[in-house]
Chain A
Amino acid sequence: MSLTTTPGEFPTADPDAKGARPADGAPMQQSFWTDGGQTVWSWLGTVDHKRIAILYAISITAFFFLGGAAAALIRIHLFTPHGLLFSRDTYNKLFTLHGVIMVWFFLVPSIPSTLGNFLLPLMIGARDMAFPKINLLSWYVFVGGALLTVIALLAGGVDTGWTFYPPFSTIYSNSAVTLAAVGVFVVGFSSILTGINFIATIHLLRAPGMKWFRLPLFVWAMYATSMVMILATPVLSTSLLLIIAERLFGMPIFDARIGGDPLLFQHLFWFYSHPAVYIMILPAMGVISEIVTVAARRKVFGYAFMVYAMIAIAVVGFMVWGHHMFVSGMSPYAALVFSFLSFVVAVPSAIKVFNWTATLYRGQITFAAPMMYALGFLGLFTIGGLTGLMLASVPIDVHVTDTYFVVAHFHYIMVGASVSAFFGGLHYWWPKITGRLYPEGWARFAAILMFFGFNFTFFPQFIMGYLGMPRRYAEYPAEFQLYHVMSSTGAMVLAVAYLLPLFYFAYSLRFGEVAPANPWNATGLEWTVPSPPPKHNFDQIPHVENDPYEYHAQGHAPEHGKSIHRGQGDGPVRTPPT
């Protein structure tokens, strides 16, 4: 088959090239899609990390669109000051549904459980995860917890917000808080089990020669994320356990009327929930490091600093949770301590942004869809990070916390950065996962639409937030209406942009060109196996001799040389391992 494969540039369908497209109905070639069998049980009972990744991918996509639908309804409701669609109570249940679904059922598992599960063994040269059965168990625990929570959210509805603050959640709310708390408690174990699996796999199943500093940065990101998952999630389980104990059994743990302290719950909750936002952003950083190096054909700038930065974020991320509680009645001296630590945790993130930018220096940059998401990530993550600095300083936080300024800040990080990176990673590894090439034109259009739709939705919220518009308001004073209308219109554009990939990815599954093993000419063990990879990953466990991003000789920028036309071309400098 002849393809014009240009490094980093997506193989454009050469007009004169013969049928690169598979004949309709042609059987897919041997891969993990077919090897393990085609029965339902072969999928639901699989212990192949690649199939579990697909199971996760399907379930979190469903939750992404459930949570996204809730977001769209919220934005439509907020077109007018008195609310277009819902009663205040329904609105409260809607934003709680949006928060709970998006945080625990999409963002936390999104990159680790799908791309991480699929790629980790491939990237380190292993045949599977250290504990394959526990990997499947984590998916069933995820679905079990999800079922409980969705029943609670949709049947009765929960009106406490995703933060479950007592005394409202324990005494004054009569919605299905207990069931939702049990559901989230269960789903917490899913991410603990995933974390255990990742750390054990990285420690024990690296291919010979794959030393720690030869690991791709995506693997390092999975390692740092798993550390946070294992050490933070249990404290969320404790806080929810105490909420359940108070609501179900009448144990007055947070009852202020008898001396209980609602701030204790906030301490326990945010001890998990701030590291949780690092669970969401660290995998995104790993994906961006992979994409930027391939698109720029350059070694990542300062590999060691990038690794230390990720570990530093994971560790220091545990010391900053107090910046969510500056106005909550916490002692002002503790607020200063947390404010200082929040400034310290911002330093590694800044380092990483500079390193990604420096990686572009003297590269051979191409702009396929994944790279567009990566560049979008760079801009939006910088904005999100810097507004985070503003929120870390106490006097500004006193003014803007619990307003739309903070809503905009965390959406810039979670949606602008983490979801963009997820989509970037999805596009980048789509050929490897499905063996098909996605339509490049549509993908770029969706990326651009998503970038503008996102900014148009959330930038007005910064202005509205500083003006004092509080968050979680079903109805708002009229002077904010202009900003709400701008934000809601942007949200419609963003919704369309999120739906596009659904279509052209499905299209590519059926009609997409067959992808070669290494469409991007990238380094990395996952590109040395056929696309999609066979069930046992490697015929023979490879021996690794090179650093992760060998796109050019040490210390010498990648010379442009001839563009690669037919077949593999010179591709990466090193010879692929035997």
Chain B
Amino acid sequence: MSEASATLHEPFESATRQREALTFGVWLFLASELLLFAGMFLGYAVYRHDHPSAFAEAGRHVNLLFGTINTALLMTSSLSLSVASRAIDRDKPGLSEIGVWITLGLGLLFLIVKGLEYREDLDEHLWPGATFALHAPAARIFFGFYWTMTFVHACHMTIGLGLLSRLVWLARRGRLRANNDSVEATTLYWHLVDIIWALVFACLYLVGR
């Protein structure tokens, strides 16, 4: 997210000041990301209010097993990244690097499971097009949100994986030190993506049952 500045950069005099600025800046960006997803949740909520029966029927066709596995995977990846971030604060780059590797692996696993789920959904003709399987017309709107929200979340996941691989690259070069700001930025971003998934999971997978 921000420049991999192990050292101090231009306008700041002290490292702690620079770290506060970075955390504050990342949080501002996370606030805007929350607003972005909030718009989609609002659309989902309004349509759930207008078409309760169609959304309930559509909600039953979403694969709960894949969703639950993915949520567990993502929460575990948050655990490993949180440990990595706290390890780097105590200047334990070894432990931190392992944590980042685990998070990267779990994140990739999440996308793979997501891919499997997408393939299964396509086989069941759940793409709201000509061959849409469900009878209720408003079910198409549910799946319109399902595909859009999970796809946008997957894009954010991919960005997160990019940031994590950058951390790994930094660790390889031995620049993963306590004063490195980008660890903080990456962990905050990753945790937000996890929070958003928890809400997406609740809305799309659970509420419809």
Q: Do chains A and B touch in the complex (CB under 8 A)?
A: yes
| Chain A residues within 8 Å of B32, by CB | 192, 196, 230-231, 233-234
| Chain A residues within 8 Å of B100, by CB | none
Main secondary structure of the interface of A (DSSP, over half): helix
**B3-29 CB contacts (< 8 Å) to partner A:** 3, 9-12, 17, 20-21, 24-25, 28-29
**B26-75 CB contacts (< 8 Å) to partner A:** 28-29, 31-40, 42-43, 46-47, 50-51, 54
List the one stretch of A121-129, A304-312, A396-404, A555-563 in contact with chain B. A121-129
| Chain A residues within 8 Å of B9, by CB | 132
Q: Which residue of A lies closest to B26 (CB)?
A: A196
**How distant is B2 from chain A, measured CB to nearest CB, in Å?**
7
**How distant is B44 from chain A, measured CB to nearest CB, in Å?**
10
Instruction: Pick from B21, B54, B129, B148: contact of A242, CB below 8 A.
Output: B148
Q: How far is the CA of A250 from the CA of B127 in the complex (A)?
A: 9
Q: Which residue of A lies closest to B51 (CB)?
A: A259
**A304-335 CB contacts (< 8 Å) to partner B:** none
Instruction: Pick from B25, B37, B140: contact of A252, CB below 8 A.
Output: B140
Instruction: Pick from A126, A231, A241, A255: contact of B35, CB below 8 A.
Output: A231
User: A195 an interface residue at 8 Å Cβ cutoff?
Assistant: yes
Inter-subunit contact B144/A195 (CB<8 Å): no
- Given known A47-B10, A196-B25, A246-B144, contact A235–B43 (CB-CB < 8 A): no
Q: Mark interface residues in A246-280 (1 if CB within 8 Å of B CB, else 0).
A: 10011111010111110010011001000000000
User: A200 an interface residue at 8 Å Cβ cutoff?
Assistant: yes
The number of chain B residues touching the other chain, given as a range, is 35 or more
**How distant is A181 from chain B, measured CB to nearest CB, in Å?**
14
Instruction: Pick from A245, A251, A261: contact of B47, CB below 8 A.
Output: A261
User: B116 an interface residue at 8 Å Cβ cutoff?
Assistant: no
Inter-subunit contact B128/A264 (CB<8 Å): no
Q: How far is the CA of A250 from the CA of B130 in the complex (A)?
A: 10
Inter-subunit contact B43/A264 (CB<8 Å): yes
| Chain A residues within 8 Å of B33, by CB | 234
User: A344 an interface residue at 8 Å Cβ cutoff?
Assistant: no
Main secondary structure of the interface of B (DSSP, over half): helix
**How distant is B138 from chain A, measured CB to nearest CB, in Å?**
4
Q: How far is the CA of A409 from the CA of B46 in the complex (A)?
A: 32
User: A566 an interface residue at 8 Å Cβ cutoff?
Assistant: no
User: B147 an interface residue at 8 Å Cβ cutoff?
Assistant: yes
User: B145 an interface residue at 8 Å Cβ cutoff?
Assistant: yes
**How distant is A239 from chain B, measured CB to nearest CB, in Å?**
7
Q: How far is the CA of A253 from the CA of B32 in the complex (A)?
A: 22
Q: How far is the CA of A131 from the CA of B43 in the complex (A)?
A: 34
Inter-subunit contact B39/A127 (CB<8 Å): no
Q: How far is the CA of A326 from the CA of B31 in the complex (A)?
A: 30
| Chain B residues within 8 Å of A66, by CB | none
Q: Which residue, of A127, A239, A259, A271, has the highest number of chain B Cβ atoms within 10 A?
A: A259
| Chain B residues within 8 Å of A268, by CB | 39, 42-43
Q: How far is the CA of A129 from the CA of B3 in the complex (A)?
A: 14
User: A199 an interface residue at 8 Å Cβ cutoff?
Assistant: yes
**How distant is B52 from chain A, measured CB to nearest CB, in Å?**
12
Inter-subunit contact A253/B35 (CB<8 Å): no
Inter-subunit contact B43/A203 (CB<8 Å): no
Q: A interface vs B, CB < 8 Å?
A: 47, 121, 126-134, 192, 195-197, 199-201, 203-205, 230-235, 237-239, 241-242, 245-246, 249-253, 255, 257-261, 264, 267-268, 271
Q: B interface vs A, CB < 8 Å?
A: 2-3, 9-12, 17, 20-21, 24-25, 28-29, 31-40, 42-43, 46-47, 50-51, 54, 128-129, 137-138, 140-141, 143-145, 147-148, 152
The 11 listed contacts between A and B (C-beta, < 8 Å) are A128-B11, A130-B25, A195-B28, A196-B32, A197-B25, A200-B24, A235-B36, A237-B39, A251-B143, A253-B145, A264-B46
